[in-house]
Amino acid sequence: MSKLTELSAWQALEDHYYTMQDTHLRDLFAADPTRGEKMSAEGAGLYLDYSKHRVTDETLKLLLALAEEVGVAQKRDAMFAGEKINITEKRAVLHTALRAPRDAVVMVDGKNVVPEVHEVLDRMAAFADEIRSGKWLGHTGQPIKNIVNIGIGGSDLGPVMAYEGLKHYAQRDLTVRFVSNVDGTDLAEKTRDLDPAQTLFIVSSKTFTTQETMTNARSARQWLLGSLKDDAAVARHFVAVSTNAAEVTKFGINTANMFGFWDWVGGRYSMDSAIGLSLMIAVGPDHYRALLAGFHEMDEHFRTAPASRNLPMLLGLLGVWYNNFFGAETVAILPYDQYLAYFSAYLQQLDMESNGKHVTLDNETVDYQTGPVIWGQPGTNGQHAFYQLIHQGTKLIPCDFIGFCQTLNPMAPHHDLLMANVFAQTEALAFGKTLEQVLADGVDPQIAPHRVFGGNRPTSTILADKLTPHILGALIALYEHKVFVQGVIWDINSFDQWGVELGKVLAGKIAPELQSEGEPELKHDSSTNTLIKRYRARRA
Ligand code: G6Q
């Protein structure tokens, strides 16, 4: 048994699970007509309905006791205070400082980092304004009309998600694109209709050594110079976002055109650092600052709200309940807003890279499940695709439904229909349809079992008034902190990502074997050797 599973709160939850495993949401709702109002919490403009979860007051009490016993609040305070909680990289974890107000004080190694954060934000704002107003001219004297962010992982997914999320607020005469894949198709397709003389590349890379990003950046430079034919053009068409000034200079970008951040910002937690420059150019500094204020409001909620009404705490604990006691393997994230098309993909990295870990902070191999598989798509599209399995399949898939009371594109009756689907899905998932109800509908008894919905499928519903920059910030921070709560409970380091290393190292060895002139001596396993040989023999 591990440290976690030996805890009295954990064992109490195990016992409690046996009393709860067959309890149906139908009965829980029937027993308490006020359940739907009672089991809700609010913070930073978000309303969370968690009544359609397979929990009682007792379950919540035990989950909160678990949070207490593992010290979630103390660990949270240590994170906010800049303690080096990322122990394998010996780093503080301070994405919360990126959205701290100007007069806040956040100390790292004896220094208040907030003034530097705002200095970079101010430089970003000045640069964004120059681009947006057409004052920043390209090498041939034309204003910039196209922004291409080159980055990958944490240097791509956040900006692309938030750009799509806030497109409604974007300056529409600017074209903003994101290139991430080392597959040349990505760069080729994203630049094919752009005029180099009007295009700005933002090379976003914390390390400025990432293979995909640097390969794309070099090819982008060639594309630009192929047309503008003057090395001096790079200075007007390339800026960098990085922590690595030396590599930025080596690439040929003047550090005057570099926007920095710090080693205490993890890649997947960096979208509100200078990594968000493309987004700030698109939506403007004021909307960007509103986004940061939303993040900060949720930070404050997480820091100060009582655990029983603390949104990230509740979402985190409910996730642990299903992951570790019901054996649920995945969580579906289902935003009912077209602008949030990339939200699930973003959360996939945030959650799976953070909590996809197998050893504890004390180097013990865990004997319990850690992070779930995160997936999803915006509604209502998913309803016509994979919801069948969630409703009637054999797997338990807790879902987060996210919806807004007001649409940004009023076009009756669309929004009412969209939201009717949110409420209908969570109702159907919770209560299902019994055999008796199916037969009462006059369905042929021969096929009636196929029409039965078991129900008892848990969902959270997160509602906000309107998708604004502020609300998007709060929503992202909600999930950042949910992931944090779960990482603390599972006693893992949510802030490193060693799991991405091995593949990178092996790709570094294989690339020269694909590129070499003569027949290379291959020393891999027989499968890898055969695949490499077949590729070499057949490529054009
Ligand atoms: C995120 C990861 C990873 C990282 C990318 C890009 O937490 O660290 O996704 O963001 O590998 O790294 P660079 O920004 O250094 O290019």
SS3 54: coil
Report which of 536, 450, 427 is spatially closest to residue 36, judged by C-alpha positions.
427
Q: Is the CB of 497 under 6 A from ligand 1?
A: yes
User: Ligand 1 pocket check: which of 180, 207, 243, 496 to mutate, most ligand atoms within 8 Å of Cβ?
Assistant: 207
SS3 177: strand
Whether ligand 1 lies within 6 angstroms of the CB of 207 is answered as: yes
Residue 216, ligand 1, Cβ within 6 A? no
Inter-residue contact 278 to 159 (CB < 8 Å):
yes
Provide CB contacts within 8 A for 243, sequence distance 6+.
206, 207, 208, 260, 261, 262, 263
Query: Looking at the whole model, is its pTM more than 0.95?
Result: yes
Residues with a known catalytic role: 353, 384, 504
Give the whole-angstrom CA distance, residue 183 versus residue 531.
19
Cis peptide before 380 (omega within 30 of 0): yes
Q: Which atom of ligand 1 is nearest to the CA of 151?
A: 16
Q: What is the best residue among 86, 496, 500 to mutate for testing ligand 1's pocket, by most ligand atoms within 8 Å of CB? A: 500
Closest ligand 1 atom to residue 354 Cα is 7
Rounded to an integer, what distance in angstroms lies between the CA atom of residue 332 and that of residue 351? Answer: 12
**What is the H or E stretch that residue 13 is in?**
helix 8-20
pLDDT of residue 472: 98
Express each pLDDT in 70-109 by its tens digit.
999 999 999 999 999 999 999 999 999 999 999 999 999 9
Q: Identify the pLDDT of residue 437.
A: 98
Q: Which atom of ligand 1 is nearest to the CA of 207?
A: 15
243 lines ligand 1 (CB under 6 A): no
Residue nearest to atom 5 of ligand 1 (CA): 153
Residue 210 CA to ligand 1 center (angstroms) comes to 8
Positions in the chain whose pLDDT score sits under 70: none
Q: Which two tokens stand for residue 36?
A: 């739907």
How confident is the model at residue 209, as a pLDDT?
A: 94
Assess contact for 315 and 48: CB atoms under 8 A: yes
pLDDT in tens, 371-382: 999 999 999 999
Q: Are 393 and 19 in contact (CB under 8 A)?
A: no
- 148 sits in the region (left: phi over 0; alpha: psi -120 to 50; else beta) called beta
Give distance in angstroms: CA of 357 to centre of ligand 1: 17
Q: Are 492 and 324 in contact (CB under 8 A)?
A: no
Residue-wise DSSP of 324-373: III---EEEEEES-GGGTTHHHHHHHHHHHHH---B-TTSPBPSS--PPE
pLDDT for position 1: 73
297 Cβ closer than 6 Å to some ligand 1 atom? no
Contact present, 152 and 267 (Cβ < 8 Å): no
Q: Tell whether ligand 1 has an atom less than 6 A from the beta carbon of residue 206.
A: yes
Q: Is 159 in the pocket of ligand 1 (CB under 6 A)?
A: no
Among 95, 160, 181, 210, name the best residue to mutate to test ligand 1's pocket (greatest count of ligand atoms within 8 A of Cβ).
210
